[in-house]
């Protein structure tokens, strides 16, 4: 598959160092379309439509002209429009789909409005180098490796910031992910393949303090005499048999004045020492604390000094800035990845927990940084001219909210996940969804959303589908034919199974990419279907960015048009 956009979930942190049911049903027990009563053409959301491989007549409306030759992208078969329709047989393995495009070989120009985002949690996606698996005193847990980095602690399992949302230093990559030059290579090679790179960024909070960072950078303090209870490398501390992984907090004096050597009270609200105590996030979303994480004072207009630990951290690229606020520093650090490497966009985590003015500033500075990179690298392969920002705002739906006035080009849509299960059973069940999404987004004031069927913070579609390989395969059409931008969470295309969880079910959604399963014919079949639909979507921005029009209920047929780009999708069911 050639995704148009690749979010790398790349962490810029260190301590917390790097960076989102159902039951299987026997195939023979699924009802046929004719067995379900309802209005003509209606498809109940709990119905399974058995795909047809027989020849069908597909009406084309006014999308293709009489006598025009068209091609089914899936099978490569040609047909000519006669009497307003074409007659074709769905390809074997196409799950009843016919993907019609003009016969002449034309590829539409990429549009962010129809982008396909491939979201990879870097640590779980692939281990390119095993020699950098353990850094900063991290250890394996020797058990299920639920929250370790595959290499800080959490409850009943060791937990590091492998996902990237617990940053310590925003200016350098986590050593587990590699070096700056390796990141440059990744971005350059992606650009050569016309793939845009979107970084997952956080401006609401840094990571938790950890024993190892306290020792390494000299911030915070233990109670007198408690150092003898720790190993030489504090990060190698292990709880006793009667303790859990939170027990180390008993060693730490959170009221000690040496916490000024950490971020400092001018930078964050943390409720320790002389730091301000943040309010509950449910009461004050922008100044509250999420999961007890320190909350950056991005709203403050007070000039701050570079935190002491960063001044003394030899590997940091952070430099003191004159008369700079917390927001100024964070914006500068984040946009440096754009200016230095040509990153094309940001997926902004916890967007509702930061004031809109900060996001507007980040967007403006990121665009300027991309302009600067393009000017400094005129010969580089650079697919993007406009910097793209998408907001993660739980539980946002398909609507134009104030986030679009705060610099965001799109907001993540949390609604499609459940709707897609019905679409995987029978694509025709998606018509009301497709029509609703398209009419909303292409209204008087256009906007865009990023829809998904799996994420690191909710569920895996493989679980929603009850680990049914047929539904996992068919989910490709439900997702990739959705209007707007769409996100493939790594392993959606291979039926990646749920992983070990401990006490936190979200951990299971971040299991290792199931590369070995690709050798199995069933998984290869699922992947091939996703690849075909992904390539069709990539060729035709109209799929995501175009106007949606229902042509027929049986066979279920619709068109998408965007400028000169035009396609028709038909689903043949028995």
CA dist 207 and 14 (Å) reads 9
pLDDT, mean of residues 255-278: 97
**Residue 154, pLDDT score:** 52
What would the 3-class secondary structure string for 103-137 be? CCCCCCCCCHHHCEEEECCHHHHCCCCCCCCCCCC
Read off the DSSP letter of residue 565: E
Q: Please tell me the number of Cα atoms within 13 Å of 308 on its side-chain side.
A: 14
Write out pLDDT tens, residues 472-490: 999 999 999 999 999 999 9
Please count the other Cβ atoms lying within 10 Å of the Cβ belonging to residue 398. 22
The full DSSP string for 366-435 is HHHHHHHHHHH-TTS----SS-EEEE--TT--SS--GGGGTT-SEEEE-SHHHHHHHHHH-GGGGHHHHH
pTM: 0.90
Q: How far apart are CA 363 and CA 439, in angstroms?
A: 27
C-alpha–C-alpha distance, residues 95 and 49, integer Å: 10
Distance CA(121)–CA(207), nearest Å, equals 17
208 touches 159 (CB < 8 A): no
Structure tokens at 61: 């409306």
Q: What's the rounded mean pLDDT across residues 33-39?
A: 34
Among residues 474, 481, 538, 444, which one has the least CA distance to residue 195? 538
Active site residues: 349, 392
For tokens 């010969």, what's the residue? 379
- 405 within 8 A of 363, measured Cβ to Cβ: no
**pLDDT at residue 11 greater than cutoff 50:** no
Rounded CA gap, 275 and 468, in Å? 51
CB of 44 within 8 A of CB of 50? no
Q: 206-254 pLDDT, tens per residue?
A: 999 999 999 999 999 999 999 999 999 999 999 999 999 899 999 999 9
End-to-end CA distance of the chain: 29
Place of tokens 């909303």: 440
What pLDDT score does 138 carry? Answer: 85
Give yes or no for residue 345 having a pLDDT over 50: yes
Nearest Cα neighbor of 336 from 201, 217, 207, 204 is 201
270-308 per-residue burial string, b: 16 or more CB within 10 A, e: under 16: bebbebeebeebeeebbbbbbeebbbbbbeeeeebebbb
**Superfamily for 5-22+110-204+298-562?**
Glycosidases (3.20.20.80)
Query: With bands split at pLDDT 50, 70 and 90, how would you rate the model's confidence at 24?
Result: very low
Q: Which long-range contacts (CB under 8 A, 24 or more apart) does 277-281 make?
A: 281/353
Domain layout of the chain by residue ranges:
5-22+110-204+298-562
Predicted local confidence at residue 299, as pLDDT: 98
Q: pLDDT per residue over 49-69, tens digit each?
A: 999 999 999 999 999 999 999
Q: Evaluate if residue 327 carries a pLDDT over 90.
A: yes
Query: Mean pLDDT throughout 535-555?
Result: 97
Q: Beta-carbon neighbour count of residue 41 at 10 Å?
A: 12
pLDDT of 199 above 90: yes
What average pLDDT does range 173-178 have in this prediction?
Answer: 92
Q: Judge whether residue 334 has pLDDT over 80.
A: yes
pLDDT of 414 higher than 50: yes
What mean pLDDT comes out for the span 259-280? 97
pLDDT at 393 over 50: yes
pLDDT at 155: 58
pLDDT at 39: 41
Contact 388, 344 (CB under 8 A): yes
468 pLDDT higher than 90: yes
């Amino acid at each position: 598959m050639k995704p148009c956009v690749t979010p790398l979930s790349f962490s810029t942190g260190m301590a917390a160092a790097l960076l989102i049911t159902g039951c299987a049903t026997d195939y023979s027990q699924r009802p046929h379309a004719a067995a379900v009563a309802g209005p003509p053409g209606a498809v109940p959301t709990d119905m399974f439509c058995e795909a047809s491989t027989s020849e069908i007549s597909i009406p084309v409306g006014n999308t293709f002209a009489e006598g025009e030759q068209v091609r089914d992208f899936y099978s490569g078969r040609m047909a000519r429009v006669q009497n307003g329709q074409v007659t074709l047989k769905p390809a074997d393995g196409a799950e009843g789909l016919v993907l019609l495009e003009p016969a002449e070989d034309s590829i539409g120009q990429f549009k962010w409005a129809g982008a396909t985002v491939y979201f990879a949690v870097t640590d779980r996606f692939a281990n390119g180098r095993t020699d950098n698996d353990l850094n900063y005193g991290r250890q394996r847990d020797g058990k299920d490796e639920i929250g370790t980095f595959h290499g800080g602690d959490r409850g009943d399992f060791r937990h590091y910031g492998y996902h990237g949302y617990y940053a310590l230093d925003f200016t350098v990559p986590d050593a587990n992910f590699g070096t700056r030059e390796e990141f440059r290579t990744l971005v350059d090679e992606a650009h050569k393949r016309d793939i845009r790179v979107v970084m997952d960024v956080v401006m609401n909070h840094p990571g938790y303090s950890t024993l190892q960072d306290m020792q390494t950078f000299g911030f915070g303090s233990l109670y007198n005499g408690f150092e003898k209870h720790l190993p030489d490398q504090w990060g190698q501390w292990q709880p006793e048999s009667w303790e859990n992984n939170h027990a180390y907090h008993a060693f730490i004096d959170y009221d000690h004045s040496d916490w000024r050597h950490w971020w400092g009270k001018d930078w964050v609200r943390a409720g320790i020492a002389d730091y301000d105590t943040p309010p509950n996030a449910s009461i004050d979303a922008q100044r509250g604390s999420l999961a007890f994480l320190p909350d950056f004072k991005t709203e403050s207009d007070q000039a701050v000094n570079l935190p002491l630990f960063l001044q003394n951290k030899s590997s940091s690229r952070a430099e003191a800035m004159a008369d700079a606020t917390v927001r100024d520093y964070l914006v500068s650090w984040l946009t440096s990845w754009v200016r230095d490497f040509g990153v094309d966009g940001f997926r902004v985590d916890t967007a509702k927990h930061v004031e809109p003015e900060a996001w507007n500033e980040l967007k403006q500075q990121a665009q300027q940084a991309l302009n600067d990179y393009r000017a400094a690298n005129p010969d580089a392969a650079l697919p993007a001219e406009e910097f793209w920002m998408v907001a993660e705002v739980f539980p946002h739906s398909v609507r134009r909210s104030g986030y679009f006035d705060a610099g965001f080009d799109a907001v993540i849509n949390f609604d499609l996940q459940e709707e897609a299960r019905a679409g995987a059973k029978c694509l025709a069940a998606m018509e009301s969804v497709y029509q609703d999404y398209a009419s909303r987004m292409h209204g008087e004031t256009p906007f865009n959303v990023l829809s998904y069927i799996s994420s690191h913070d909710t569920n895996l579609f493989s679980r929603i589908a009850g680990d049914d390989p047929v539904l996992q395969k068919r989910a490709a059409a439900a997702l990739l034919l959705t209007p707007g931008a769409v996100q493939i969470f790594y392993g959606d295309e291979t039926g990646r199974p749920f992983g070990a969880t401990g006490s936190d079910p979200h951990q299971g959604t971040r299991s290792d990419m199931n590369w070995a399963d690709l050798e199995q014919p069933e998984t290869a079949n699922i992947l091939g279907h996703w690849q075909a639909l992904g390539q069709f979507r990539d060729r035709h921005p109209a799929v995501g960015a175009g106007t949606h029009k229902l042509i027929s209920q049986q066979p279920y047929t619709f068109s998408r048009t965007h400028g000169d780009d035009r396609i028709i999708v038909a689903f043949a069911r028995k």
